[in-house]
Amino acid sequence: SQQGEEDPQALSIQEGENATMNCSYKTSINNLQWYRQNSGRGLVHLILIRSNEREKHSGRLRVTLDTSKKSSSLLITASRAADTASYFCATDAGDYKLSFGAGTTVTVRA
Amino acid sequence: EAGVAQSPRYKIIEKRQSVAFWCNPISGHATLYWYQQILGQGPKLLIQFQNNGVVDDSQLPKDRFSAERLKGVDSTLKIQPAKLEDSAVYLCASSLVGPSTDTQYFGPGTRLTVL
Q: What is the mean pLDDT of chain B?
A: 93
Q: Of A35-39, A54-58, B72-76, B99-103, which range is least confident?
A: B99-103
Do strands B75-79 and A85-92 pair parallel, antiparallel, or not at all (unpaired)? unpaired
pLDDT digits (tens, 9 = 90+) for A15-29: 999 999 999 999 999
Count contacts between A and B (CB, < 8 Å): 59
Beta carbons of B44 and A33 less than 8 Å apart: no
Q: Which of B4, B101, B102 to mutate to test the interface with A (most CBs of A within 10 A)?
A: B101
Q: Of B3-7, B49-53, B59-63, which range is least confident?
A: B49-53
The answer, for A23 touching chain B at a CB cutoff of 8 Å, is no
Instruction: Provide mean pLDDT across the span B4-13.
Output: 97
Smallest CA–CA distance from B38 into chain A, residue: A102
Smallest CA–CA distance from B48 into chain A, residue: A97
Smallest CA–CA distance from B33 into chain A, residue: A97
pLDDT at B98: 63
pLDDT at B15: 96
Measured CA to CA, the distance from residue B50 to residue B34 in angstroms comes to 12
The alpha-carbon radius of gyration of chain A (Å, integer) is: 13
The secondary structure of B29-42 as a DSSP string is --EEEEEEE-TTS-
Closest CA to A89 of A28, A40, A47, A39: A47
pLDDT at B99: 54
Q: Which residues of B touch A105 (CB under 8 A)?
A: none
Measured CA to CA, the distance from residue B115 to residue B102 in angstroms comes to 37
Measured CA to CA, the distance from residue B111 to residue B38 in angstroms comes to 10
pLDDT at B109: 96
Q: Which residues of B touch A99 (CB under 8 A)?
A: 45
Beta carbons of B42 and A98 less than 8 Å apart: no
pLDDT at A97: 81
Whether the predicted pLDDT of A54 surpasses 90:
yes
Q: How confident is the model at residue A1 (pLDDT cuts 50, 70, 90)?
A: very low
pLDDT digits (tens, 9 = 90+) for B61-108: 999 999 999 888 999 999 999 999 999 999 999 998 865 567 899 999
Q: Which residues of B touch A102 (CB under 8 A)?
A: 40-42
Measured CA to CA, the distance from residue B54 to residue B98 in angstroms comes to 12
The answer, for A88 touching chain B at a CB cutoff of 8 Å, is yes
